Structure 1
Amino acid sequence: MTGSDRPWEAGSEPERWAGYFDPATGLLRNLSAPPVSTPAQLEQFENSHVEYRLIGLRAEPVAGSYDLEHVQAIHRELFRDVYPWAGELRTVGISKGVRDLPDGAQAKAGFLPVEHIPFVVNGMADQLRQENYLRGLSNEEFADRLAGHFNDLNEAHPFRDGNGRTQRALWDQLAAEAGHTIHWQAIPNDVNIRISHEARVNNNLDPLRSTLRAIVTDDGLMARTVKSYEASRLAGIDTPTRPGAGSAGTSANPAPSAGYRSPGFDAGRGYGR
């Protein structure tokens, strides 16, 4: 792609922020053909392709040492059918929620500046290596140690979108190699958002630790059952197409909401995405 095809890389921060969006629809630029025109269509398109890739990724994990290159490889695999910037670090600052200031005011709770992402994620990988990738631990010990690394990667939020699913895929791989299974589906999305925010913004990891303790189990019968189920799904699933393509009654493109493209704010659907 030329520079004009990658406007999220060029110009000032507001220009790069706007460059992630299709000006005709207000949606994140994507690889759908035919093009999507509503947020619901983009979500369907994204979910179908990412789920397909996730099943394959669980069957054949991406090799790596849990460093930034490994994280990027997982994101690239999951989102390669969806976004032209799959696997690439974001070029803009993003935030989620708010933090309380000493004077009683509130400010956006920003994730790490882009330039700090490699240092933090690669530092996390070095620490994991020193901890023998959390192997040989009980379920509770694994959960407690994982909480800090989970928070580091969440604080980095390396990508413009898709951070939650990329992080869960990474930790699923770490857990499987250490003899554990993490049952993410047991956490409601609002709880996931709340405990992640509490850890990142208020430096309180206790809710995150207790939640991870509740969903980490041995890699035993349950994990084998899940893998068997996913293998059967993978055997029967076709390469996905955009759900709803060509359906009748599609409305005209809506105008983007006022806050949707506000520079510096992640208008995605939460930590779980």
Structure 2
Amino acid sequence: MITNKEKNLAEGTFVSLRLSELKSKIYDGDFNLKRLQEINQYLFQDLPKLGKEYVEFYKPGIFRQEVAKGVIWTKSRKMPGIKYTSNIVYSNMDKQIINETEKYLKDNIDINKMKRMQTKTFVKKMTEIYSKLDYLHPFRDGNSRTIREFTRELASRAGFEMNWEKSNLNQEKRNELYIARDIAVNQIAHEKMQIPEGKYDIEMYMKPFKNCKKLEEILSENIEKIKVKKQKIVMSFSDKDKSNNRNMGR
């Protein structure tokens, strides 16, 4: 079994390289779950090549298995410097939620419409998209990096810059993002939860973080409209003279 240290070292070496490669390219295709799979596959493609244990752990581009019915899939996150553990309820990854998420992306991602959005409206839409993809949590590993790249590409196509690096400046900033994401996911999970005890548990999970920054607030700090520079055409006197002479000769 590979250790966390070995896993982190391998990911730091290969995934970082693949991520920089994606950032250097321009993606002009559709933004759907297939694209999400393509990103995950691209980022983690090198790790199964490292040996049998890596093959067993990493499944690049492949959705995780559906959770058994009646099971609430909860993960716990401990953060340095934070007193409370963040517990998050993700989707059971059944066909219904997969189809629902795919339909949402199809109905809500309109590049031309997004290009005309004011920054505040765009931030709100991106917060919603990120939250729904994070709640789906479709992969066994690398969901955060995959969704960040997906939203960065989408923002770029729409004429915005999504600067995730601002949330990675220090541990405090990273904790802010973790907590904000977890709250956004738990809010969706709470809406979908049909078991009263499950609803109560999610409410308790969110309670310690009720005064923390929300995801929309963080994205508003990370997103800005790309300014298009207008080029001025300046004609010299000689150019004007040549133009006038041509017109006079007609």
TM-score using structure 1 length: 0.59
Corresponding residue number in structure 1 for 2:222: 215
Higher normalized helix content (fraction of residues): 2
Note the 1:67-146 alignment, pairs <5 A: 67-83=32-48, 84=55, 85-91=59-65, 93=67, 94-97=73-76, 109-115=88-94, 116-130=96-110, 132=112, 134-146=114-126
Deviation, structure 1 residue 96: 2.5
Matched, 1:158 2:138: yes
Q: Give, as a single letter, the amino acid of the residue that structure 1 aligns with 2:62.
A: E
Give me the CA root mean square deviation.
2.8
Which among 151, 155, 164 is matched to residue 175 of structure 1? 155
Give the SS at the match of 2:214.
helix
Is this contact kept in 2: 1:62–1:73, CA < 8 A? Answer: no
Q: How far off is 1:108 after superposition? A: 5.8
Unaligned runs of 5+ in 1: 1-24, 28-37, 99-106, 222-273
Once the two structures are TM-superposed, the CA of residue 92 in structure 1 deviates from its matched residue by 5.1
Structure 2 partner of 1:54 = 19
Once superposed, which parts of structure 1, at least 4 consecutive aligned residues long, lie more than 6 Å away?
A: none
Which whole-Å deviations, capped at 9, do the CAs of 1:173-214 have from their partners, x for residues lacking one? 01111111112121222111110111111359x811111111
The one-letter code of the counterpart of 1:70 is R
The residue aligned with 1:190 is: 175
**Residues 7-56 of structure 1: per-residue CA shift (max 9 Å, x gap):** xxxxxxxxxxxxxxxxxx2x3xxxxxxxxxx3212101112101111111
- Per chain length, whose mean CA-contact separation is higher, i.e. which structure has more relative contact order (CA < 8 Å, sep 6+)? 1
Contact 2:76–2:87 (CA<8 Å) still a contact in 1? yes
The structure with the larger Rg is 2
For structure 2, which runs of at least 5 residues remain unmatched after alignment?
A: 49-54, 68-72, 78-85, 168-172, 189-209, 229-250
Q: What is the distance in 1 between the residues matched to 2:66 and 2:109?
A: 30
TM-score when normalising by structure 2? 0.64
Aligned length: 179
Distance 1:202 1:118 in 2: 18
Instruction: Tell me the distance in 1 between the aligned counterparts of 2:161 and 2:12.
Output: 23
* 3-state SS, counterpart of residue 152 of structure 2: helix
